[in-house]
Amino acid sequence: MDFTPLWLSFKTAAIATVIVFIIGVFLARIIARHHFFGKSVVEAFFLLPLVLPPTVVGFGLLMLFGKRGPFGTFLDKWFDMQIVFTWNAVILAAVVVSFPLMYQSAAAAFQQFDANVEKAAYTMGASKWKVFWTISFPLAWPGLLSGLVLAFARALGEFGATLMLAGYIPGVTNTIPLAIYFEVEGGNTEMASFWVGIIVVLGFSAILWLNWWSRRNMMRHTKKTS
């Protein structure tokens, strides 16, 4: 039994989740508390991969990061680096499709508590960095964790954009969703069923844990305020 798809999926999802968590929290923290012209357009752009077909997202990435694309040309010329049909393409696809979930959760998390709490800390001489780590981040953490879990689950199940950008290369890009598709194409429904069972269990476990943790956190909050 070759468990390469499982290892590649976990590794890809883990790295993609770390990337989208850092970028998503950073952008959400900046944008959530500020109002400026074009904010709705910017946020709509961030959330676009959430509503577009994955193949459309993959095609767009292919146009951008292909050898003739602007980013692809730049990376090839200055860093001798290729994205398309490599494991880097798998990570890129996972990052793009999972980012909206992380950003949306982070933005909601930072908006749910009173901004006056942060302002009070500023008036007492606390730096922005200290306020973020001691006040903003802890208060937003439940929402951030939800986004983290959802982003991981989405990255784990990414298929369309990955197939368009990375293709199917055994041992390199064959994540579980791609393995399922090509096992079915090859008539090996038994193996496809095995991978379907694995990814269903993983996704179900992630959502189940998130629901359990959310209820537990809500009960703790209720006890503290009562």
Q: Where are the domains of the chain?
A: 4-175
Q: Which of 140, 48, 144 is nearest to 97 (CA)?
A: 48
pLDDT tens track, the chain, 226 positions = 789 999 999 999 999 999 999 999 999 998 987 888 889 999 999 999 999 999 999 999 999 999 899 999 999 999 999 999 999 999 999 999 999 999 999 999 998 888 888 888 888 888 888 999 999 999 999 999 999 999 999 999 999 999 999 999 999 999 999 999 999 999 999 999 999 999 999 999 999 998 898 888 777 766 666 5
Supply the DSSP symbol for 83. -
Say if residues 21 and 102 touch (Cβ distance below 8 Å): yes
Tell me which residue has tokens 């006890």.
223
Task: Quote the pTM value.
Answer: 0.92
Q: Is 206 exposed, middle or buried (0-12, 13-18, 19+ CB in 10 A)?
A: middle
Say if residues 167 and 173 touch (Cβ distance below 8 Å): yes
Q: State the fold for domain 4-175.
A: MetI-like fold (1.10.3720)
Structure tokens, 25: 């929290």
